[in-house]
Structure 1
Amino acid sequence: MKTAFLFPGQGSQAIGMGQALAEAFPAARAVFEEVDAALGQKLSRLMFEGPEAELTLTANAQPALMAHSLAVIRVLEVEKGLDLARDAAFVAGHSLGEYSALCAAGALNLAETARLLRIRGDAMQAAVPVGEGAMAALLGAEWELASEIAREAAQGAVCDVANDNGGGQVVLSGDKAAIDRACAIARERGVKRAIPLPVSAPFHSRLMAPAAERMRAALADAEIRAPQVPVVANVTAGPVSDPEAIRKNLVDQVCGSVRWRESMLWLGASGVTRFIECGTGKVLTGIAKRLVAGSDAVSIGTPEDVAAHGD
């Protein structure tokens, strides 16, 4: 039986995330303290107590989600004897979760990962003035139909497929007017629902080009090592272990599509039958169960989860 560890992306954050874990396990507290020190900010207090509006800011949500995910990994290592190199065939993370996966696999150290995600969050927020970009989820549309709708809606503006999450959920991103057109076209084409998303910027679209350049500069100075287990990259939906390929993928990922459906299908085809989502929420657990027939998928984010699923 092959196991893959999964790491959630933005949108899963919630007040109280990681708090019970920190109260129960010194290993978790140590992760939050190291992230706080790396950022020069009491991010853990914001995670535990809010306010929600501040936690939701991209520059805070991204390192916060990573911190909770890595706290879970460290607790499993100390309390349950997890050895990722021995116990995992692959790791994968959704958008910012790819940084969590790389950190868990030893390609990036924790402090560097926190700093990179703070830069990434700031850069993505600053790339497009608030109100000019938008994102929308098409429910009941597969990749091909969503791509057709995006092309038809663009009309000279940007309308890109940002996330292919599988199970008939595809997210579009781009100029607000184009996204509004795409929602209208989707309804005309029989898509079940077209839902504008409450996001602060058009992530994973060509409008993020300024952020990609900032990440290129930040990643050029980052020490990236070969991961202990292969990381399935968002932009290629395949495994990567070469540090320079990882560096390139992380730059390309800022504007590129998150090919999560293909990533999960690739993992299933590679023999993975067990998925363990580490951190906040259960979104990726649900997707894995839908996409990989017969798979066992669990999420671990609390002391109770560690006790129930940590072996």
Structure 2
Amino acid sequence: MKLGFLYAGQGSQHPGMGADLYEAYPAFRAVIDSAQVDFDLKEVSFTDSQGVINQTRYTQPCMVAFAAGLTAVLREQGVTPAVAAGLSLGEYSALHAAGVFDAAQAVKLVAFRGKAMEEAAAGRESAMIAVLGLDRAPLQEACEEAGSLGCVVIANYNCPGQLVIGGEKAAVEKAAALAKEKGAKRCLPLKVSGPFHTPLMAPAGAALEEYFRSVTFAQPQIPVIFNCLGDVKGDDVTIPELLVRQVQSSVFMEDSIRKMAAMGLDALVEIGPGKALSGFVKKTVPDLPVYAVETVADVEALVQKVKEEQV
């Protein structure tokens, strides 16, 4: 089977994620145990007794360690991607799957990213709101009309009928009200700790740009679809440049999914807790099968499916 791997982003994390995989697979265990962070990654992921898993600086390394461990398990079982992409944070897991950096380096990178994003968001009156049932053009108009109150942009193009706006609180709330006037079915405030993927994250972008100067990026071994392009990158831009841009600009997830579907894949595999991306796939390219993999049972089912297709 020709598979595309889609890696989940921040927001789908929960205590207990990966606990069964850790018990069942040495390959998963090795990735978790090798993670170099300044907290007990295993404790936060599996039990979260301190209630910190939803704080960005903890969420990001836990999620990427989970994804890298699961990728190692699938690789060991002969299940590998022909192309990879990820939602926001998940892009780092996609780059790891493509061989741009190893698991330990991926975790270290996002541990820095998580702290930089938290610091950029600190002290800001910001908001993010999911806008359902409205097309891009009228929502863009709503953002422009509300711009006199502050920064507000479309931060996430998730799938048809599901967009997310973010920025300064007053401007975002005004844009949401205008979106309803323009025909949006619902506007749902999101529980996030900052105005992610908006120009307000520029300080995090600057911190990443500086940090990346000391990081080695290998050549990807498979195509990677980048968030801020909704496409593979050209020769005119580097991966570090795209990751700096990514943290402070829109995520084109719908475009990324369409691009992957156009590459002749047999199926997509969502890697990470939850099934949010599977939902986006079903609304964007309903004819393309998608399998969500989070547990030991999910791994076994996918491996069996791949074996059956190869017969």
TM-score range, shorter chain: over 0.9
Assess, with a 3 A threshold, how the Cα gap between structure 1 residues 300 and 242 changes in structure 2: closer, same or farther: farther
One-letter amino acid of the structure 1 residue matched with residue 34 of structure 2? E
Partner of 1:62: 60
- Distance in structure 1 (CA, Å) of the matches to 2:129 and 2:119: 20
One-letter amino acid of the structure 2 residue matched with residue 185 of structure 1? L
- Distance in structure 2 (CA, Å) of the matches to 1:295 and 1:127: 38
* 1:1-311 equivalent positions in 2, closer than 5 A: 2-35=2-35, 38-51=36-49, 53-78=51-76, 80-82=77-79, 84=80, 88-155=81-148, 157-240=150-233, 245-310=238-303, 311=306
- Distance in structure 2 (CA, Å) of the matches to 1:53 and 1:234: 30
Deviation per CA, 1:203-239, whole angstroms, max 9, x where unpaired? 0000011010001011121110011101000011111
One-letter amino acid of the structure 2 residue matched with residue 168 of structure 1? G
Match of 1:172, SS state, is strand
Is the 1:273–1:294 contact (alpha carbons within 8 Å) kept by the matching residues of 2? Answer: no
Shift of 1:41: 2.2
**TM-score under structure 1 length normalisation:** 0.93
> Any unmatched runs of 5+ in structure 2?
307-311
Is the 1:237–1:259 contact (alpha carbons within 8 Å) kept by the matching residues of 2? Answer: yes
Is the 1:136–1:171 contact (alpha carbons within 8 Å) kept by the matching residues of 2? Answer: yes
- Distance in structure 2 (CA, Å) of the matches to 1:292 and 1:201: 30
- Distance in structure 2 (CA, Å) of the matches to 1:21 and 1:178: 43
Assess, with a 3 A threshold, how the Cα gap between structure 1 residues 129 and 42 changes in structure 2: closer, same or farther: closer
Which portions of structure 1, spanning 4 or more consecutive aligned residues, are displaced by more than 4 angstroms? 241-244
**TM-score under structure 2 length normalisation:** 0.93
- Distance in structure 2 (CA, Å) of the matches to 1:266 and 1:114: 27
Is the 1:226–1:243 contact (alpha carbons within 8 Å) kept by the matching residues of 2? Answer: no
- Distance in structure 2 (CA, Å) of the matches to 1:267 and 1:5: 9
Shift of 1:293: 3.4
Deviation per CA, 1:94-124, whole angstroms, max 9, x where unpaired? 0010000001111012122111111111111
Shift of 1:131: 4.8
One-letter amino acid of the structure 1 residue matched with residue 148 of structure 2? Q
Match of 2:121, SS state, is coil
Assess, with a 3 A threshold, how the Cα gap between structure 1 residues 2 and 292 changes in structure 2: closer, same or farther: farther
- Distance in structure 2 (CA, Å) of the matches to 1:34 and 1:146: 44
Deviation per CA, 1:182-213, whole angstroms, max 9, x where unpaired? 12112222210111111111000000110100
Assess, with a 3 A threshold, how the Cα gap between structure 1 residues 303 and 249 changes in structure 2: closer, same or farther: same
Is the 1:68–1:301 contact (alpha carbons within 8 Å) kept by the matching residues of 2? Answer: no
Match of 1:127, SS state, is helix
- Distance in structure 1 (CA, Å) of the matches to 2:57 and 2:222: 28
Match of 1:255, SS state, is coil
Is the 1:205–1:257 contact (alpha carbons within 8 Å) kept by the matching residues of 2? Answer: yes
Identity %: 38
- Distance in structure 2 (CA, Å) of the matches to 1:52 and 1:155: 41
Residues matched between the structures, number: 304
Is the 1:13–1:65 contact (alpha carbons within 8 Å) kept by the matching residues of 2? Answer: yes
One-letter amino acid of the structure 1 residue matched with residue 100 of structure 2? A
